[in-house]
Amino acid sequence: MYYFLNQYIKAFNSSVEHVEFHRLALFKHERLHAKIVTRDFDTMEYLNAANFGLKQDDILNMYDYFQGTTDVKEKQTSTKGLNIPISYQLKYDSDVSKAYQGGRLAQTIHHTPSRVGEISSVEHYDEFGNIANRELWDSRGFHSASQFLDYDGAPHAEILYHLDGTRALERFWEVTDDRKGKVIFNIHLINYKGNDYYFNSEEELFTFFLDEINTQDKDETTFIADRPGVADIPLVNMKTKAKKYLFFPILHAANPEDLINSPLEPSYEEVFKHLDKLDGLITMTDAQARQLRIRLKRQKGKGRNIKITSIPGVAFSNKQLKEPQVPMANRPGNKVLYVGRLGADKGVDNLIRAFALVTPQVPDATLDIRGFGDQEFVKSLEDLIQQLNLQNNVTISGYTPEIQPVYDSAKVFASAAHQDAFPLAMAEALAHGLPLVAFDTNFGPGEIIKDKVNGFLLEPGDLYGYSQTIISLLTKNTVLQRTSENSYLDSKNYSYPKVWKKWKNVLLSKSNTK
């Protein structure tokens, strides 16, 4: 069995999750048993995962495992099953229904998004109008947990149930030292295999969980830690023997300008002390692999000679690679596309500034920005669009799960990131024949883009040159079509057979750990 270790699957996902989606499809194509393993308790996880084509059996959640709900037949829920007292007056709404006792609000019933009338949670109010406790329902149709809330509406205690209503776990929170939030300080695993267990954190429970699922498999198990700071330490703390790999979805150093000597990215500081407990490191680019080898050769202690392998974060099926090509002449308008997280390190603000130099020469050019990010930063982008008078040319369209048709509607893929371990969307854009424009920064652009062949690499910060490149592509049909055809051709570098060959070399090697 192959387990890809993560924290969650959300409605809006980062490249960490999307890399796992690609990898899972590849492993399933090779008829290998693989699952995405998630740590966090989330009643919406399976509904979110289904929106990305994942089935219940593709995921193994830690809390589901201990609740005995990993294989549940879905059923519909409704207010009829809540046993609301007959004396309450119920007012229905599509998102939130309310139950009143006389003039007092007694319950609010939150409905599952996209599922009319189904139950997501029920909040119960005390006589003073405060939420006293909250009942949580899993999107698959069962009562999953009860939360007991403080005055601020945050839980201080929680009970998680088995399907028969008996207690599976209890969780307790305490206020942090800076009094700005709460953290879990105790988890009680109840009558698990005849014993009770207590843990001081989710990290400890996650380690216990990994050991438990490891002992279930008769054959050798392989774990790949994908989420930095969440999956890596539980992996190295496991007591049972398995093959263990650390995957790098981000840069390993805090300073992208000095990847060898600068301090480590904080998420990696602790796990780098335990490299001897891992079978290998996996990066998504050859450049990052080289930098890591140099860095580790300079450090003392165990793990300095650990095997480091580069494997791309995408993989395209033969079916996808054989999809009919969309000629540039058949793509209406002059749409430039950005797909990715909206953060300062992604340089989306500079992309907008560069686009302000494009529109005077290509008035009908549009920039479609797809992704999610911190609300404050997104607001700053919206303000910038207003300041540059680009309201008719630049749109922040938000996160789009079904992104394939959007790629096919664009003419250019643009990225202005200051740093990136591997720009996943850029590689995906190749498979849709998009010419690529990006700054030549660490790490991915230089390995995905062949300058002047399938796209163009610019010196970091050269906004004028960047804008002129986009103008050239949008106004020179011959160049646009030629680079598009080369993008389609180069997407074959990420075919299932080629990417699987790299994985096969890693997975079939002997374990170095005990």
Stretch(es) of the chain classified as CATH 3.90.930:
79-199
pLDDT-derived band at 512 (thresholds 50, 70, 90) equals low
Dihedral sign, Cα of residue 134, residue 148, residue 158, residue 152:
positive
Q: What is the pLDDT of residue 179?
A: 78
In the numeric block, the tokens 């797909």 are attached to: 339
Q: What percent of the chain has pLDDT over 70?
A: 99
Domain 320-494 has CATH 3.40.50.2000: yes
pTM for this predicted structure: 0.95
Could you tell me if 276 and 304 are in contact, meaning their C-beta atoms sit under 8 angstroms apart?
no
Is residue 499 over pLDDT 80? yes
CA angle 194, 196, 199 (to 5 degrees): 145
Q: How far is CA 273 from CA 86, 237, 252, 258, 278, in A?
A: 61, 12, 14, 20, 11
Which two tokens mark 200? 């001081």
Is residue 391 over pLDDT 90? yes
Express each pLDDT in 37-46 by its tens digit.
999 999 999 9
pLDDT-derived band at 118 (thresholds 50, 70, 90) equals very high
Q: What is the pLDDT of residue 257?
A: 85
SS3 (DSSP) at 476: coil
Q: What is the pLDDT of residue 436?
A: 98
Q: Over the Cα atoms of the chain, what is R_g?
A: 25
CA distance 465 to 354: 9
Domain 79-199 has CATH 1.10.10: no
SS3 (DSSP) at 159: strand
CA distance 418 to 500: 30
Q: What is the DSSP string of 345-364?
A: GGTHHHHHHHHHTTTTTSTT
Express each pLDDT in 1-16 by its tens digit.
999 999 999 999 999 9
Which two tokens mark 27? 């492993």
Q: How far is CA 287 from CA 275, 311, 493, in A?
A: 20, 11, 17
Express each pLDDT in 266-277 by its tens digit.
999 999 999 999
Stretch(es) of the chain classified as CATH 3.40.50.2000:
2-69+202-310, 320-494
Other C-beta atoms lying within 10 Å of the C-beta of residue 176: 11
Task: List beta partners, residue 218.
Answer: none
Which two tokens mark 501? 């060959």
CA angle 398, 349, 387 (to 5 degrees): 95
Is residue 49 over pLDDT 80? yes
Give a three-class secondary structure readout of 372-406.
Answer: CECHHHHHHHHHHHHHCCCCCCEEECCCCCCCHHH
Express each pLDDT in 57-96 by its tens digit.
999 999 999 999 999 999 999 988 898 998 999 999 989 9
CA distance 157 to 242: 34
Q: What is the pLDDT of residue 110?
A: 96
Architecture of domain 2-69+202-310: 3-Layer(aba) Sandwich (3.40)
CA angle 501, 507, 512 (to 5 degrees): 140
Dihedral sign, Cα of residue 111, residue 112, residue 113, residue 114:
negative
Q: Which residues contact 325 (CB under 8 A, 6 or more apart)?
A: 433, 484, 485, 488
Express each pLDDT in 120-153 by its tens digit.
999 999 988 889 999 999 999 999 999 999 888 8
